[in-house]
Chain A
Amino acid sequence: MSKEDRRLLILEREMKARMYQKSVLLEILHLAHELYGYFDKDLLNYISERLNLPPSHVYGVASFYHLFRLKKPGEHVVSACMGTACYVSGVEEIISAIEREFNVKRGGSTADGKLSLFITRCIGACAMAPNVTIDNEVIGKANKEVVLKRIKDIIGG
């Protein structure tokens, strides 16, 4: 993490604006996550130092919330919704199909780092279940054929 990293400046500015209050940790983590896409320990250590919070406290909070990633995700991210409606509508079948087709486990990435497969709990589009999000595109009323094809299109190109 270089000192000139612009993202650090943005982070620093936000912490300053919030007067380095300990209670804004979660807000700062959100911003950092948005900027970097995941947390590495250097980044968390930096936040811990600036907010004057114990490192274990920062790590404890960062790892408690499932939205935050502690590992670098793949180039493309597929997240399948495991909400009730999606489960009832058979999202499990789609997930297993992705796992088989791309040799990736849920929660992990492919060996080449091109694709990550995540499970989310309900994106709230239940009436369109099952939903699979590929990068930022939501595929509603999804089936495995459509999803597999779309993933191939994206990582192929």
Chain B
Amino acid sequence: MKPEDILRIAREETEKQGFYKYRINICCSSGCLPFGALNLLKAFENAVKKFGVESECKVARAGCPGTCSVGPVVLLEPGGYIYQNVTPEKAREIVKSHIVAGIPVKEYLYANEAFFKKQLRLVLRNAGKINPMRIEDYIAAGGYQALIKCLTKMTPKEVIDEITASGLRGRGGAGFPTGQKWNFVAREKNTPKYVVANLDEGDPGVFANRTLAEADPHSIIEGMIISAYAVGAEQGYIYVRAEYPLAVNTLREALRQAKAMNLIGENILESGFNFNIELRLGAGAFIAGEETGILASIEGRRATPRPRPPYPATSGLWGKPTLINNVETLANVPPIILNGGDWFAKIGTPKCTGTKCFSLTGKVNNPGLIEVPMGITLREVIFEIGGGILRGRKFKAVLVGGPSGGCLPESMLGLPIDYESLTKAGAIMGSGGIVVIDDTACMVDTAWFFTDFCVDESCGKCVPCRVGLLKIRNILERIMKGEGKMDDIDLLEELGVYVRDASLCGLGQTAPNPTLTTLRYFRDEYVAHISEKRCPAGKCFKEQASLEVKE
């Protein structure tokens, strides 16, 4: 295949889709699939047939539009109508009224405009709109044109310059400048080189990468091919959690189709550039998402991180230069190439350009997957996009950045979301998890939960993380049982700082964050547990209380 062939497919497919007046996209992502999405797909197909509107209405499976809490959801184009909690019965009614008569069924619509109003969808540009199982859909939406541009009009150096100009930073958590990272690998003389796409989204409560892979796998693959072209790699690996079977299947199918079109493989689009991608499955280890952990895992070993330097850019997979990018970072690449780095740099804040996907969960009215420009405040995310606290309860804290993020109080809600501000406040961008906590939650218990997660996920190699975290968890447990001492607060702080500073890898270095931030912002709750044997949220001491009643 040649570049012209891809452009021709794009034209033909656009034309074909243009025949249809309506398009019904059924979300078949992990959020909706368990709740009858495939039945719904059939129901819509039958309804369209029954009402004889097959020629003007296309029914297709699609990825997630983000409103996961009201699934199964259906996106009806044109107009971007989202129907919520759709059942096969509702499907017939929707076809009859909306398609046949042209009148949307108001009572079934997701009537929450605020959810989308402040969002800006770059990474999720196609999510929910195209069929992830058809490469033609992606191509018709402008897919692979960035790759063509790179292969035909740009040198690897120009590609890297464009990425550098965009100010794009790693979306995996740490926020390292992507262009710089690419440059490190590109300048290495040692070959072969490898690229790795990190989709080991192990954080509980985070599903942005999964949704992206399920909704628009080719955006990841295209970004990855471009990165390989830029750094001169011939082999790539996508490392996916095995707990995401749908994402795995979607990616597998997408890779097959991309290969069939010669978008990966030998002599890609007759450019002389060779690049292959293999899938590698994780197996339930959060630590495998760490840069050196992922490398060990791809090599078939225990995913224990090793100290850096040497960095993967010089010594990665099998000791060769390796570029590791988060999949969200990669999905940002095609639009940057097409629209230019300057365009991208205007989005977000000067230091943190572009957008970020967040999984918004916990006690908010509109949980789901969102994408917002950098610099938006937490308040906007929680109270506008998220629609405020569930059941009108009081906001207490928000955990930003997954299990090793920080718990921020109400006074920090004005904080703009960018790497530096979050870090300063004791949280991290992390994997993009925002969990909203209301006044029914105990902050000691919250810190315990996340510490317990990290204790479970610690690889056990270094002492601070393996033993230090365990001790932090035990002290928290003691406090929750009413056996805490006032000295414990200082001890927790000391241990927290020690684990943060002395641990080998990112897991240990961030794992004390929930404890440290709850100590910083909710110290009074610790004091209440220790000196008054009282849990302000009424969560702890329950067992003891009920025992006393029994006696």
A residues in contact (CB < 8 Å) with B = 22-27, 29-30, 57, 60-61, 64-68, 82-88, 120-129, 137-138, 140
Contact = CB atoms under 8 A, between A and B. Distances in A.
Contacts of B275: none
B435 A23 contact: no
A106 B382 CA distance: 34
Given A23-B299, A124-B244, A66 B205 contact: no
Interface of B: 30-31, 34-35, 68-69, 71, 201-207, 210, 242-244, 280-286, 297-303, 318, 359, 361-363, 367-368, 399, 402-403, 433, 435, 437, 441, 449-450, 453, 456-457, 459
A67 B435 contact: no
B359 A61 contact: no
A67 B34 contact: no
Given A30-B283, A64-B302, A84-B361, A126 B453 contact: no
A121 B202 contact: yes
Contacts of A127: 31, 68-69, 71, 361, 367-368
B225 to A, nearest CB: 23
Given A67-B242, A122-B205, A127-B69, A24 B300 contact: yes
Given A65-B303, A67-B242, A84-B399, 12 more contacts: A23-B300, A26-B281, A26-B297, A30-B281, A84-B205, A84-B450, A88-B362, A124-B210, A124-B244, A127-B361, A127-B368, A129-B361
Contact of A88 (B31, B368, B403, B437): B437
A125 B283 CA distance: 18
A122 B285 CA distance: 12
Contacts of A120: 243
A84 B433 contact: yes
A128 to B, nearest CB: 6
B34 A27 contact: no
A57 B323 CA distance: 27
B34 A140 contact: yes
A30 to B, nearest CB: 6
Contacts of A128: 31, 34-35, 68-69, 71
A68 B205 contact: no
A22 B300 contact: yes
* 6 interchain residue pairs of minimum CB distance: A84-B205, A83-B204, A127-B68, A67-B284, A65-B283, A138-B34
B18 to A, nearest CB: 34
Contacts of B282: 65, 67
A89 to B, nearest CB: 8
9 contacts: A26-B297, A86-B204, A87-B449, A121-B286, A122-B205, A124-B207, A127-B367, A138-B34, A140-B34
A123 B30 contact: yes
A82 B298 CA distance: 26
A27 B240 CA distance: 12
Nearest to B399: A84
Given A84-B205, A137-B34, A66 B301 contact: no
A148 B297 CA distance: 38
A86 B435 CA distance: 11
A125 B30 contact: yes
Given A125-B68, A127-B361, A128-B68, A83 B242 contact: no
A84 B449 CA distance: 8
A85 B362 contact: yes
B34 A125 contact: yes
A125 B285 CA distance: 18
A84 B362 contact: yes
Contact of B361 (A68, A85, A137): A85
A60 B283 contact: no
Contacts of B206: 122, 126
Contact of A124 (B35, B243, B301): B243
Contacts of A65: 282-285, 303
Nearest to B441: A88
Contacts of A22: 300
A86 B449 CA distance: 12
A136 B142 CA distance: 37
A121 B31 CA distance: 16
Contacts of A24: 300
B30 A26 contact: no
Nearest to A65: B283
